[in-house]
Amino acid sequence: MPKPVDVTTPSDREVTVTRVFDAPRQLIWDCHTKPELVQRWLLGPPGWSMPICKVDLRVGGRYRYVWKNDESGAQFGSYGEHQAIDAPSRLVTTEMMDGLDGGPLLDEPPLDPAQAARNVLTLAEAGGRTTLTINMTFPSKAIRDQALQSGMSDGMAMGYDRLETLMAGQGVG
Amino acid sequence: MSYEQQLDATFQALADPTRRAILARLATGEASVSELAEPFAMSQPAISKHLKVLERAGLIVRGRDAQRRPARIQAKPLQEANMWIERYRQLWEANYARLDGLLAELQAGQGNRGKD
């Protein structure tokens, strides 16, 4: 059984995700910052892939992720800037999402600090285990809720239904 | 209220620790304003204000009894808010299960290199 993931909403504008891994934090750091590794796990439900993953790991450097539903062709993306890089323990980024409304995905989408979320990734290692915490602070409650619901968009929900069918079929959960 | 507005009202109502505590108390059974005021060491008007927010969010209903008007918890909006978070949680669960696999692969690779 995979380890539990804890999701809390400490305030109206925040979401915090916590998870423990049986791995040193340097490896988990690499999996968050090296594009060829990010593309292998940060995918959401089955049926989605990440055809575009660019990471310029410098303060002020950008990252760009694009996800695609391999069946419907639907796409959406996320992008932002690295604000603080303290390898392998802390990474601060801004984040905006695009394409959720079916709109086009630009190569270099505009980054509006007033609309961007601020994500703080913390990796704490003890006894060979790493506790990962991501605290996301959104500019408003409406933007926070939209981000939470991005997991509920049609294409994603389809993936979940498939996951649920799969789990039901295997007698899990 | 639309589904969106309902969710907004639910999350707003739940953002306050006193209101969450009131809901936790009501989960064990209905209570009047005076019964709620006592353990929270708050005035009855202050409790009434919180109950109004909870009522507007559809999280509680108030009884018709003019004297007591006991407050009762309503489960449905809470379940919907939870479902929203639950879906988001499942998204990360799937991602992190995949990351577990990748980390195991990377660790095995490092082990091999160490032996070389």
Question: For residue range A110-168, what is the model confidence (pLDDT) as tens digits?
Answer: 999 889 999 999 999 999 899 999 999 999 988 888 777 765 444 444 444 444 444 44
This complex has an ipTM of: 0.84
Neighbours of B44 (CB within 10 A): 13
From the list A11, A15, A41, the residue facing B98 with the nearest CB is A41
Burial grade of A137 (CB within 10 A; 0-12, 13-18, 19 or more): middle
Residue of A1, A6, A11, A17 to mutate, interface with B, max B Cβ within 10 Å: A17
pLDDT, position A172 = 36
Residue type present at position A6: D
From the list A9, A21, A42, the residue facing B103 with the nearest CB is A21
pLDDT, position B63 = 84
Measured CA to CA, the distance from residue B68 to residue B64 in angstroms comes to 8
pLDDT digits (tens, 9 = 90+) for A31-66: 999 999 999 999 877 788 999 999 999 999 999 999
Location of structure tokens 């809901």: B23
Across the interface, do A141 and B90 touch by the CB < 8 Å criterion?
no
Across the interface, do B90 and A21 touch by the CB < 8 Å criterion?
no
pLDDT, position A171 = 37
Token output for A85: 């890089």
* pLDDT mean over A64-70: 91
pTM check: above 0.80: no
Q: Splitting chain B (116 residues) into consecutive groups of 10 residues, what average pLDDT does each group show? A: 74 86 84 87 90 90 82 78 79 92 92 54
